[in-house]
Each structure stands twice: as structure tokens, then as C-alpha cells.
């Protein structure tokens, strides 16, 4: 007999599942209709059906998101997604983060942004609408299939976010019709994701992923309709937009890593980071080659290939992060939800689409027979793009080691020190790209006069040498030859592009976009180089050890300091003091005061407080989030690496009725004492002063023959306080009783339990454990000149915005 479950709210899930099926069907119908509309341009009905189905798809996508958010926000833990990713204690902004913590929520986010961008295509695409929307809606169909969660021929297709908890898990609890009453809360959000950057980083990153499909769709549309040159014009602003947004998303991930993930930096070459930066590099290369082609007619195939492969690599990145193949090599990849082969098909579908159109149109593609001039900008833009592609190949090859092992059964080990491995290769590529971005500024399209080129180049070269020398002097990165070359390359790029930027201030703003972006990139490289090369741990521990079991297995003891509360410690020119903490569950905020004194006068010249926080996660242990002091020239980054577990207040509250009256005390010590004896206890000593034979008990009259004695004791604390105590011993009707006396200030309970003739009196001493002095273990890192990195990212984004405005202005009135 089926169990009639109580309290389940099934309507939101049923609505959500309906919208998933509707979105899939509408996307498929729209894709097919737009395809026929492209083939049969004279039949407007196909175009109309395609649009109607597209608008239905948008409504369905919004319906999916609304249903899922309603379930999460209202803590409907009968749904597996809500129970797995949220909890009642999360504030609203983290509930939003929990929406896309899981695979299903992030796929929805991708679908949503893709629908929004498709709206822009429909509004502005004109004659390009049908062929471009065919590809976009094909992708929308595949993404919808990732959420559909149905069985087809014994195989599950997708994973629905609306599956019930009792359908996802097998547990005895589900034999109870009222099982929901036993579920107090959900699993909660991963502590690493409880950061404000995770509210905005994933939406921005997925907007970048979604926007990559538009230039891909234009490329396929151009090849499909044999409009080989025309598609590049509308695709260029979209490519710049995708580069800008995906770059911003990657940068936000760097902020997250720097502030929350405890990488000890802003980039760790984690496989998931690599998966997002690879298509970004290839699309940047594509943008440069498109610009070169527009001005010279060279490298059409390269431009087309790079645009198409960029989106294919986005899908490959999705495979890496969602198939579970990186489960043991990445700290923040998704787990496999049975979508492995579905993701493979996703990759193969769009890769095959790219290969088919390139191969079938190969003989028709525009080719310029005349060789490019060496002294031309397009030649060096092509070389720069080629270097970016080679850099991507190196990243892909290393990142894909787990994929190779899974495919071919090999056991290739990834690099032991991934950061050093990638830095060794990518530093060389970065040097070449920076130098080329500088040289290209002195070249014109098609041909440049060598004399003018060398004169401009020499002037910038000399200035760059001087500026590099100054930079190396202040940053102290001259100990490594590669660092010196990288510094020169970045300065050279900055100086050369600043020259063009100078022209912009004279009114030539349309030229400013690329120069501003290049300047931002150069500053980014300078900041990354200096911060990575010269950052240093300032919380050095001279003893080289931390008195905590197992600490050395997860941290380097010599780079951490053990701090007792209110005990100042000298550290890197600062006096630091842990002064207490505050609790905003599940986080504990530790207050650490920093003071810097003048060495001569001893006067405090700087004082501030940092509040790193941490939470004790039952599965992951202590998860710390740093607090940072920002200066113009450096950051002081402080994180708690160990702290005592916080007792649960609910466990501390209990009713003493029915409990052992001596609960909370250590095992007692029993001693035979006589008058004048002195006894030691943890925090002082006890003197036996005498015995009162005329003692009384409140509310207990004594009968004839009853005997009551009180042992007169003086309790002396090490701090000087003296307390009186008189535990009593009663003999009544041949039975003995004792009445303890507590000295609460010292955590003592004293019992007079026996009189042994000729031996003495028996005294039992109970002691509470001494209250543990509060402590933390913290690590502090100094990141010099990190602001170059953050400023560079902002300036680079501004450059992309200026370029988009320029290309959009060129595009107006030219789309047919």
C-alpha cells in the first residue's frame, strides 16, 4: 500500500517540472522552425512559429527559476535540491547563492542568460535572426535536456531540481508518513561559498558563457548562408561583449579566491579556473584576428576557427566541471549527476557542427593570395593570437590529464606543484604577448615605413628600460630573470599603449578602447607578478611548532602564530593581540588588534582591528575567511587557521532534575584530614581549621541521639581571595548523610563524608575543570602592490566597454 505522506507541498515542484518540459519542447520547436525559416525564406510562417516558440521558452525558463526559488526560499525540504543546498539559518543573499550551488541551478542560470541574449538577437538581428537563432535554440534545447530528469530506454536524461528527497535518497525515515517533522533543517550552503562574491560571481561567469554562443551562432550562420564576410561585422561587438563579461566573471573569481577560498592568493591554476580562462584566451585571439581581417583581408579562416572553437571550449569547460572527472583534482568542481555521456554528446554536437561547416565550405572561404607584410599590424596581431592559442594548448593539455586517464586508462599524474608548472610556461607566453601588444601599436595596417617604426619603437624601448629599473628597485623582483623579462614586457606594453592613449585625449577616443584594455592587462600582469613573487608570510613562528594535534598535516606550523586572548605578540613590525570574538552563527568573528609603534619614541603610529571569521563545519573542519587591511602599496591578509570548537549553547542548557548532582566536576579526590592540615587544589590550597560540633541544618530539626558536625575550612585562592566553607556530616537513626558545600568562585564542591576514629575525617574534594583560556592560531600574509592587479582588471574592463561602443557605432545601419 502506498504511503500517504503528510505536509509535502507538491505543487511548486509539479509546476517547475511542467515548465522544464515546456522549455525543452518550445526550444526544440523554435530551433526546427528557425531552421526551416532559414532554408525557406519566402515562407514567413516558419519564422513566426520560431518566434512564438522562443517566447514560450522564455516564459518557461522564468517559470522554472521562480518555482525553484520559491522552494528554496520557503525551506521546502521535501525537495532534494532545497535540502542539499540551503538551510533555515542562511540569510537571503546566501539563499540566492544556494540557488546555483548545484548543477541544476547553474544550468538554469545558463539557460536564463541565453534567453535574455536571444531576446537582443531577435530585437536587433534583422536578416540574421533565423540562422543565428537556430543555433542558439539548439543550445537552449540541450541545456533544457540537462534539467528534464526522465528515463529514456533505461538511461536517465538530465537531473531535475524538483525531485523529492524521498525519491533521491533511500532511508528508513521515509517509511514514516510524517517524515518531514523529523527534518529540522537542510544541509546548508558549502562554507566556501558563503561569501558575497558568490552572489555575483556565478551569474557574471554564466552570462559570459551564454554570450559566447552568439558569435558562434553568427559564425555558423555566415558559413551556412555563404555570407562569409558579412557575419564578422555583427559578431565582433558580441565577441567583445563576451570577452568583457567572461573576463569580469573570472576576475570576480579571483576576488573570491583572494578573500574567501584561502588559496593564499588570487589565482591557483585550479582546473576549474583553467576551464574558464581557456575560451576567454581563444576569443581574445579571435577578436584581434577579426580586427586584422577587417583591415587587411588576411587570416579569415583563423578568425572563423577561433570564434567557433571558443564556444566549443566553453562546452568542454562545462564537461570538465560537471562530469565528475575533476572530482579529485579541483576544490570547486561539481559532482557527477549521471550526465557524463550527456555532456559528451553536448560537446560532440557543437564540435561536429563546427567541423561540418568549415569542411563543407573549405574551398569557398575567402583567401588572400598576397602575403602579409612583416611591417604590418595584422601580421603581428596574427602572431600574438597564435601565441595565445599555444598558451591555451598548454593549459588544456595539463588540465585534461584526468580526461586522458579516464578515456585511455592511463595513469598520468598531474604536476605535483601545479602553480609552478603553469607559471613556468605561461610566464614565457605572457612576455611574448605583452611585447607584441606594444610593438603592434607602432605599426599600421597593410604596411608601415620601417624608419618611423624603429624611431617610435626605440623611444618607447628606452623609456621602458628606465621605468622597469625603477619598478624592479621598489618591488625587489630582480632575483629571477623571468620576472625581470615579464616586468619589462608589462612596462613596455604600458608605455607603448599610453602613447596611443595620449592621442585619445586629443579627441581620438575611438582609438582608445584597445589601448585602455592593453594598459589594464599590463597593470594586471605587474600586480600579479609582484604580488605572487614577493608576497611573504609575516606570521613567522620562531619555535616552528603549534601545540595542536594534527596541525602540521594541514598547515605549516612555522607560518602560524598561537595567540592567547589579551596576550600581545610581536609580528612583522606589528604588535598583535587577540582580544575576543563575536558570534553570528554559523560564523565566529575573531577580533585581532594591530598596533605599529615608532621605533625611537615607542608611540603608537597606527592602530586597526581585523576580524577574520571561521566556522566549524562537521564535514570540512574549520573553514576560515580572511580579513584584510588595504594599503596603497600592499595588503595585510589575516586568516584564522585553528580555533577551539564552540560549545553548542543548547547542549549547555539542561535541567538538573534527574541528573547526577556532581555532574560537571572531575573525579573527586578523597583524603583523611585532621585539624591544621593543608590540602592543595588546582587554584590554591585548603586549610582545615576545626570541627563545629554544634552545627545546625536549616529546616531540619535534630532529634535526641542525632549527631551533626561541620568541618570548618578556609579556601585560599592563588590570587589572594579567602573563602569559608563548612561541609556537614549527619548521623541520624543510625544512618549517615552528608551535605556538600560549594565554593563556586573556585569551582569547588567539598563533602565531609566520614569520621574514622583515630584516623581522621574523610573529605572529598570535587573540582571543575579550569576554564580554558581562549586562543586562536592565525596566519598573516603581506601582498605587496596587489592594487596593480585590481586596478588593471578594472581598466581592462573599461577598455572592452569602449571597444564595444566603437564597434556598435560602426555597426549601426550596416546590418541587412
Do 261 and 376 reside in the same domain of the chain?
A: yes
Q: Which ranges of 297-373 does DSSP label H, i.e. alpha helix?
A: 300-322, 340-360
Q: What is the count of structural domains for the chain? A: 4
Q: Is residue 505 part of a domain?
A: no
Tell me how far apart the alpha carbons of residues 76 and 109 are, in angstroms, rounded to a whole number. 21
Q: Which of 428, 456, 491 is the last residue of a domain?
A: 428
Q: What is the mean pLDDT of each run of 10 residues along the chain (816 residues)?
A: 85 97 98 96 92 98 97 95 91 87 93 97 93 98 94 82 93 91 88 80 94 97 95 94 94 82 68 88 94 86 96 93 69 59 93 97 84 73 91 92 84 85 90 91 74 85 94 86 93 89 64 85 91 88 80 88 91 93 85 92 92 82 87 91 66 43 81 91 88 85 86 86 92 87 89 88 88 86 90 91 80 48
| 369 three-class SS | coil
- The pLDDT value recorded for residue 654 is 37
Backbone torsions φ then ψ of 618, nearest 5 degrees = -60, -25
Contacts of 313 (CB under 8 A, 6+ apart): 278, 279, 282, 392, 396
Backbone torsions φ then ψ of 563, nearest 5 degrees = -120, 125
Q: Is residue 442 part of a domain?
A: no
Inter-residue contact 484 to 477 (CB < 8 Å): yes
- The pLDDT value recorded for residue 53 is 98
Q: Is residue 398 part of a domain?
A: yes
Do 670 and 640 reside in the same domain of the chain?
A: no
| 586 three-class SS | coil
Do 111 and 252 reside in the same domain of the chain?
A: no
Q: Is residue 299 part of a domain?
A: yes
Q: Which ranges of 40-102 does DSSP label H, i.e. alpha helix?
A: 44-73, 80-85, 92-99
Tell me how far apart the alpha carbons of residues 575 and 594 are, in angstroms, rounded to a whole number. 6
Tell me how far apart the alpha carbons of residues 741 and 749 are, in angstroms, rounded to a whole number. 6
Q: Is residue 811 part of a domain?
A: no
Contacts of 440 (CB under 8 A, 6+ apart): 377, 380, 381, 384
Tell me how far apart the alpha carbons of residues 654 and 681 are, in angstroms, rounded to a whole number. 28
Q: Is residue 740 part of a domain?
A: yes
Do 727 and 627 reside in the same domain of the chain?
A: no
- The pLDDT value recorded for residue 264 is 55
Contacts of 127 (CB under 8 A, 6+ apart): 815, 816
Do 119 and 160 reside in the same domain of the chain?
A: yes
Inter-residue contact 252 to 276 (CB < 8 Å): no
How far is C-alpha 351 from the chain's CA centre?
Answer: 30
Q: Is residue 227 part of a domain?
A: no
Q: Which of 396, 428, 460 is the last residue of a domain?
A: 428
Q: Which of 381, 400, 428 is the last residue of a domain?
A: 428
| 746 three-class SS | helix
Do 720 and 750 reside in the same domain of the chain?
A: yes
Do 106 and 185 reside in the same domain of the chain?
A: yes
- The pLDDT value recorded for residue 475 is 86
Do 168 and 91 reside in the same domain of the chain?
A: yes
- The pLDDT value recorded for residue 811 is 63
How many CA within 13 A on the CB side of residue 131?
Answer: 21
Do 177 and 236 reside in the same domain of the chain?
A: no
Do 573 and 624 reside in the same domain of the chain?
A: yes
Q: Is residue 221 part of a domain?
A: no
- The pLDDT value recorded for residue 651 is 36
Please give the C-alpha separations between residue 371 and each of 293, 297, 795, in angstroms, as whole numbers: 13, 11, 36
- The pLDDT value recorded for residue 188 is 86
Full domain range(s) for residue 330: 232-428
Do 258 and 376 reside in the same domain of the chain?
A: yes
Do 583 and 708 reside in the same domain of the chain?
A: no
Amino acid at each position: 500500500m502506498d504511503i500517504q505522506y503528510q505536509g509535502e507541498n507538491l505543487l511548486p515542484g509539479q509546476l517547475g517540472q511542467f515548465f522544464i518540459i515546456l522549455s525543452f519542447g518550445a526550444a526544440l520547436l523554435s530551433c526546427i522552425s528557425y531552421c526551416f525559416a532559414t532554408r525557406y525564406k519566402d515562407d514567413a510562417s516558419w519564422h513566426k512559429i520560431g518566434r512564438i516558440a522562443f517566447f514560450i521558452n522564455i516564459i518557461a525558463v522564468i517559470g522554472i527559476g521562480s518555482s525553484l526559488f520559491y522552494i528554496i526560499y520557503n525551506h521546502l525540504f521535501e525537495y532534494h535540491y532545497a535540502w542539499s543546498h540551503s538551510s533555515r539559518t542562511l540569510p537571503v543573499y546566501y539563499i540566492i547563492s544556494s540557488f546555483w550551488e548545484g548543477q541544476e541551478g547553474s544550468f538554469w542560470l545558463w539557460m536564463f542568460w541565453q534567453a535574455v541574449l536571444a531576446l537582443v538577437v531577435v530585437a536587433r538581428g534583422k536578416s540574421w535572426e533565423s540562422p543565428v537563432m537556430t543555433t542558439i535554440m539548439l543550445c537552449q534545447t540541450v541545456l533544457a535536456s540537462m534539467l528534464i530528469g526522465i528515463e529514456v530506454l533505461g538511461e536517465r536524461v538530465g537531473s531535475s531540481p524538483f525531485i523529492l528527497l524521498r525519491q533521491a535518497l533511500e532511508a528508513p525515515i521515509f517509511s514514516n508518513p510524517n517524515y518531514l517533522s523529523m527534518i529540522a533543517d537542510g544541509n546548508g550552503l558549502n562554507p566556501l561559498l558563503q561569501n558575497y562574491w558568490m552572489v555575483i560571481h556565478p551569474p557574471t561567469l554564466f552570462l559570459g558563457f551564454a554570450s559566447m554562443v552568439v558569435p558562434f551562432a553568427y559564425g555558423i550562420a555566415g558559413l551556412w548562408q555563404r555570407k562569409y564576410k558579412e557575419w564578422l561585422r555583427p559578431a565582433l561587438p558580441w565577441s567583445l561583449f563576451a570577452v568583457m563579461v567572461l573576463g569580469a566573471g573570472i576576475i570576480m573569481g579571483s576576488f573570491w579566491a583572494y578573500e574567501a577560498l584561502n588559496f593564499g592568493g588570487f589565482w591557483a591554476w585550479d582546473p576549474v579556473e583553467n576551464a574558464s580562462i581557456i575560451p576567454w584566451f581563444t576569443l581574445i585571439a579571435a577578436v584581434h584576428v577579426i580586427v586584422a581581417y577587417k583591415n587587411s583581408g588576411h587570416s579569415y579562416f583563423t578568425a572563423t576557427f577561433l570564434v567557433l572553437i571558443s564556444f566549443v571550449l566553453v562546452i568542454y569547460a562545462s564537461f570538465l566541471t560537471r562530469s565528475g572527472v575533476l572530482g579529485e583534482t579541483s576544490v570547486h568542481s561539481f559532482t557527477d549527476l549521471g550526465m557524463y555521456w550527456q555532456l559528451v554528446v553536448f560537446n560532440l554536437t557543437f564540435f561536429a557542427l563546427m567541423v561540418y561547416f568549415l569542411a563543407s565550405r573549405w574551398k569557398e572561404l575567402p583567401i588572400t593570395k598576397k602575403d602579409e607584410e612583416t611591417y604590418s599590424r595584422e601580421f603581428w596581431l596574427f602572431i600574438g593570437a597564435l601565441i595565445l592559442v599555444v598558451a591555451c594548448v598548454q593549459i588544456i593539455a595539463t588540465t585534461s590529464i584526468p580526461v586522458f586517464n579516464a578515456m585511455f586508462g592511463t595513469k598520468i599524474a598531474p604536476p605535483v606543484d601545479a602553480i609552478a608548472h603553469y607559471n613556468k610556461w605561461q610566464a614565457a607566453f605572457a612576455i611574448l604577448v605583452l611585447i607584441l601588444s606594444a610593438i603592434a601599436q607602432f605599426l599600421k595596417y597593410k604596411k608601415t615605413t620601417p624608419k618611423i617604426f624603429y624611431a617610435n619603437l626605440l623611444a618607447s624601448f628606452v623609456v621602458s628600460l628606465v621605468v622597469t629599473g625603477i619598478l624592479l628597485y621598489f618591488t625587489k623582483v630582480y632575483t629571477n630573470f623571468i620576472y625581470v623579462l615579464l616586468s619589462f614586457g608589462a612596462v613596455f606594453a604600458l608605455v607603448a599603449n599610453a602613447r596611443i592613449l595620449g592621442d585619445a585625449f586629443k579627441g581620438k577616443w575611438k582609438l582608445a578602447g584597445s589601448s585602455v584594455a592593453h594598459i589594464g592587462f599590463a597593470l594586471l600582469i605587474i600586480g600579479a607578478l609582484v604580488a605572487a613573487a614577493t608576497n611573504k608570510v609575516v606570521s613567522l613562528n620562531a619555535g616552528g611548532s603549534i601545540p595542536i594535534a594534527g596541525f602540521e598535516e594541514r598547515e605549516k606550523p612555522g607560518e602560524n602564530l598561537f595567540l592567547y586572548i589579551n596576550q600581545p605578540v610581536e609580528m612583522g613590525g606589528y604588535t598583535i593581540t587577540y582580544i575576543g570574538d563575536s558570534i553570528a552563527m554559523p560564523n565566529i568573528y575573531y577580533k585581532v588588534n594591530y598596533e605599529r609603534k615608532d621605533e625611537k619614541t615607542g608611540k603608537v603610529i597606527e592602530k586597526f582591528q581585523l576580524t577574520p571569521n571561521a566556522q566549524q563545519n562537521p564535514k570540512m573542519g574549520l573553514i576560515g575567511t580572511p580579513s584584510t587591511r588595504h594599503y596603497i602599496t600592499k595588503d595585510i591578509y589575516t586568516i584564522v587557521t585553528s580555533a577551539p570548537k564552540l560549545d553548542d549553547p543548547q547542549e549547555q542548557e539542561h535541567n538538573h532534575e534527574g541528573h547526577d548532582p556532581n555532574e560537571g566536576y572531575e573525579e573527586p579526590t578523597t583524603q583523611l584530614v585532621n585539624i591544621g592540615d593543608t590540602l592543595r587544589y588546582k587554584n590554591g590550597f585548603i586549610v582545615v581549621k576545626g570541627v563545629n560540633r554544634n552545627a545546625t541544618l536549616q529546616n531540619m530539626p535534630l532529634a535526641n541521639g542525632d549527631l551533626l558536625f561541620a568541618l570548618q575550612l578556609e579556601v585560599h585562592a592563588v590570587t589572594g581571595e579567602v573563602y569559608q566553607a563548612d561541609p556537614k556530616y549527619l548521623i541520624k537513626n543510625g544512618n549517615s548523610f552528608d551535605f556538600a558545600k560549594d565554593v563556586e568562585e573556585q569551582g569547588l564542591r567539598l563533602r565531609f563524608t566520614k569520621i574514622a576514629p583515630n584516623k581522621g575525617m574523610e573529605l572529598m574534594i570535587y573540582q571543575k575543570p579550569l576554564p580554558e583560556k581562549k586562543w586562536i592560531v592565525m596566519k598573516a600574509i603581506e601582498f605587496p602592490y596587489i592594487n596593480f592587479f585590481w586596478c588593471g582588471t578594472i581598466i581592462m574592463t573599461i577598455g572592452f566597454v569602449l571597444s564595444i561602443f566603437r564597434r556598435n557605432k560602426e555597426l549601426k545601419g550596416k546590418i541587412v
